[in-house]
């Protein structure tokens, strides 16, 4: 039971649950926006207010393709809002962070780990870093065996 409790209370699982609930609410919000504002705007240009009444019948089965058109419009609006309000700003922020990191760090020429520019020794491979030359790995010279 303890393992299940840890699984449920793990941070990323709770975050995922919150994201699903917020996503569902956002979906309802966008559908409301589409049915209240976008579809009436389309009526001004296209002559119809609601697509949900569009349907066709085949052998007594009714296919309501108008509802699908409303859902497609809602999806496109949701995707545009998510892209312009979330994806682009986060990508811009990550580029700014990467640019700041690039000016303060450099790769070690031996192990390619990212290290501070002022570093004189790589913390990963312990290579001695000298300016203008390649890094060298210090290997102590063998001591002669004591005689006698």
More confident residue, 115 or 101: 115
Same domain, yes or no, for 50 and 115? no
Out of 10-19, 103-112, 132-141, which region has the weakest mean confidence (pLDDT)? 132-141
Same domain, yes or no, for 13 and 28? yes
Domain enclosing residue 24, as ranges: 2-105
With b for 16 or more beta-carbon neighbours within 10 A and e for fewer, the 96-134 pattern comes to eeeeeeeeeeeebebeeeebeeeeeebeeeebebeeeee
117 touches 105 (CB < 8 A): yes
Same domain, yes or no, for 27 and 55? yes
Residue 145 inside a domain? The answer is no
Same domain, yes or no, for 94 and 131? no
Within 8 A by CB and 6+ apart from 57, the residues are 63
Instruction: Measure Cα distances from 118 to 44, 51, 122 in Å.
Output: 65, 65, 11
Same domain, yes or no, for 57 and 99? yes
* Model pLDDT for residues 34-78, shown as the tens digit of each residue: 777 777 777 777 665 567 778 888 898 888 888 888 778 778 877
% pLDDT > 70, the chain: 78
More confident residue, 140 or 37: 37
């Amino acid at each position: 039971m303890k393992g299940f409790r840890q699984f449920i209370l793990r941070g990323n699982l709770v975050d995922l649950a919150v994201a699903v609930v917020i996503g569902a609410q956002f979906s309802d919000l966008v559908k409301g926006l589409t049915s209240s504002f976008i579809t009436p705007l389309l009526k001004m240009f296209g002559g119809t207010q609601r697509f949900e009444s569009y349907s066709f019948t085949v052998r007594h089965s009714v296919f309501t393709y108008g509802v699908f058109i409303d859902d497609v419009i809602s999806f496109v609006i949701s995707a545009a809002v998510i892209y312009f309000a979330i994806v682009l700003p986060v990508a811009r922020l990550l580029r700014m962070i990467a640019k700041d990191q690039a000016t303060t760090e450099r790769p070690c020429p031996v192990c390619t780990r990212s290290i501070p520019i002022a570093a004189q020794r790589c913390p990963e491979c312990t290579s001695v870093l000298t300016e203008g030359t390649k890094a060298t790995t210090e290997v102590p010279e063998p001591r002669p065996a004591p005689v006698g």
